[in-house]
Amino acid sequence: MTKSFQVVGIGNAIIDILAYVSDEFLAKNQIKKGVMNLINSERSKELFRQISVTKKIAGGSAANTIVGLSQLGIKTSYIGKVYDDEFGKFFTDDLNSNNVEYGVSDKFDSSNFSTGHCIVLVTPDGERTMNTYLGVTEFLSKDDLNLNILQNSGWLYLEGYRYDGVDSQKAFEIAIDHSKKGGGKVALSLSDPFCVKRHRAKFIKIINNGVDLVFCNEKELISLTEQTDLHAALKSSSDFPCKFICTVAEKGVYIKHKGSWINISTNNVKIKDTTGAGDLFATGFLYGILSGNEDPVSCEFANKCAGEVIRTLGCRLDKQHLLDLV
């Protein structure tokens, strides 16, 4: 049976606010470099007062992946929670302009919250440090899920960042269950090593009970497996019943293919901003397997997508730029 959607994503519906800063700025503000830091509204206002905004983009990790897939011609939908405000409209308008069906029927309208945003601080080496105010997206629950979309999608793509909060954890369980009942497959992005540390036991539980594919980087895999180095972590991940794809920055990606771990190399590029590298890697890999390619070939295309996005400022590529990579 033909599915209505090839991929549906669930994640943090947020706006990315990009700004260039120095390493000294991070140190002065006691911000740990290269990871995602959760902040409250007051901290967000404090940082806004100190930065010069370079770019505003509708973002969120899963949304970046889903938009990329849509630009490549894949039929997609996205489930994430926004408030009925300026940022919320900006986010949903962006999905609509990229032919992504927004899978939540109503915008949240409580005056106590606002649409989430992420202040992405980019240092001269291209590393991005994310400071995320979740806002209303933190309260994504089972009531926000469009079960019809979930049961009529070939793949469900879950963003690990969105696993914070009991309501969202229940939503993940229900989403996986309905996707599986409809004959779909499930992919999970581990998102961040500290995210993994917060939810290791629960991540392991869902990986063992319904997940078909895990996207991660070296630090995230080491955190999940509680090993001390990459090769030990790769070996340990073989105990799980699903496929792992582990990116290792300029060293490319490791994937288990026909019983053995293999490394797919990538080209070195001049890094401008690493925001969106993992998101566009997932875009490229999912597009590859949906196009009928074997995993190594899909990884090669995924590396190309990730390599291109880190050469630009921001978490996405223009549609034509992405299509030119195919």
Instruction: Give the pLDDT confidence of 209-242 residue by residue, as tens digits.
Output: 999 999 999 999 999 999 999 999 999 999 999 9
> Residue 299: what pLDDT?
97
How many domains does one find in the chain? Answer: 1
Q: Considering the domain boundaries, does residue 39 fall inside one?
A: no
Q: What is the dihedral of CA 259, 261, 262, 268, to 10 degrees?
A: 150
Asked if 273 and 313 count as a contact pair (C-beta separation under 8 A), the reply is yes
> Residue 110: what pLDDT?
60
Categorize the per-residue pLDDT at 73 as very low, low, confident or very high, splitting at 50, 70 and 90. Answer: very high
What does the alpha-carbon distance between residue 13 and residue 8 come to, in Å, rounded to a whole number? Answer: 14
Instruction: Give the pLDDT confidence of 4-38 residue by residue, as tens digits.
Output: 999 999 999 999 899 999 999 999 999 999 888 88
What strands lie across the sheet with 128-133, from one edge to the other?
A: 36-38, 128-133, 116-122, 14-20, 55-59
What does the alpha-carbon distance between residue 130 and residue 32 come to, in Å, rounded to a whole number? Answer: 9
Q: Considering the domain boundaries, does residue 32 fall inside one?
A: no
Q: Considering the domain boundaries, does residue 40 fall inside one?
A: no
Asked if 153 and 100 count as a contact pair (C-beta separation under 8 A), the reply is no
Q: Is the pLDDT reported for residue 181 higher than 60? A: yes
Q: Considering the domain boundaries, does residue 130 fall inside one?
A: no
Q: Is the pLDDT reported for residue 251 higher than 80? A: yes
Categorize the per-residue pLDDT at 198 as very low, low, confident or very high, splitting at 50, 70 and 90. Answer: very high
Percentage of the chain lying above the pLDDT 70 cut: 98
Q: Considering the domain boundaries, does residue 184 fall inside one?
A: yes
**Residue 45 host element (H or E):** helix 41-48
Q: Considering the domain boundaries, does residue 266 fall inside one?
A: yes
Instruction: Give the pLDDT confidence of 274-308 residue by residue, as tens digits.
Output: 778 999 999 999 999 999 999 999 999 999 999 99
Q: Is the pLDDT reported for residue 312 higher than 90? A: no
How far apart, in Å, are the Cα atoms of 122 and each of 50, 58, 85, 188, 224?
A: 14, 17, 27, 26, 27
Mean pLDDT of the chain: 92
Nearby residues of 217 by Cβ (< 8 Å), 6 or more positions away: 190, 246, 247, 248, 249, 278
Residue 90, class by beta-carbon neighbours within 10 Å (0-12 exposed, 13-18 middle, 19+ buried)?
A: middle
- Structural domain for 98, as ranges: 5-11+60-112+135-323
**Strand, coil or helix: 19:** strand
**Residue 152 host element (H or E):** none
Percent helix, strand and coil across the chain, each to the nearest 5: 45, 25, 35
Greater pLDDT, 263 or 112? 263
243: nearest Cα among 266, 211, 221, 265: 211
Asked if 22 and 123 count as a contact pair (C-beta separation under 8 A), the reply is yes
> Residue 225: what pLDDT?
97
Pairing of strands 243-247, 253-257: antiparallel
Q: Considering the domain boundaries, does residue 44 fall inside one?
A: no
> Residue 56: what pLDDT?
87
> Residue 260: what pLDDT?
87
> Residue 105: what pLDDT?
54
220: nearest Cα among 278, 262, 276: 278
> Residue 111: what pLDDT?
60
Instruction: Give all strands (DSSP E) within 228-272, no chain letters.
Output: 243-247, 253-257, 260-264
Q: Model-level pTM?
A: 0.90
Instruction: Report DSSP letters for 282-326, one per residue.
Output: HHHHHHHHHTT--HHHHHHHHHHHHHHHTTSSSS---HHHHHTT-
Categorize the per-residue pLDDT at 314 as very low, low, confident or very high, splitting at 50, 70 and 90. Answer: confident
Categorize the per-residue pLDDT at 55 as very low, low, confident or very high, splitting at 50, 70 and 90. Answer: confident
- Give me the CATH number covering residue 146: 3.40.1190.20
Q: Is the pLDDT reported for residue 104 higher than 80? A: no
Q: Considering the domain boundaries, does residue 149 fall inside one?
A: yes
> Residue 43: what pLDDT?
95
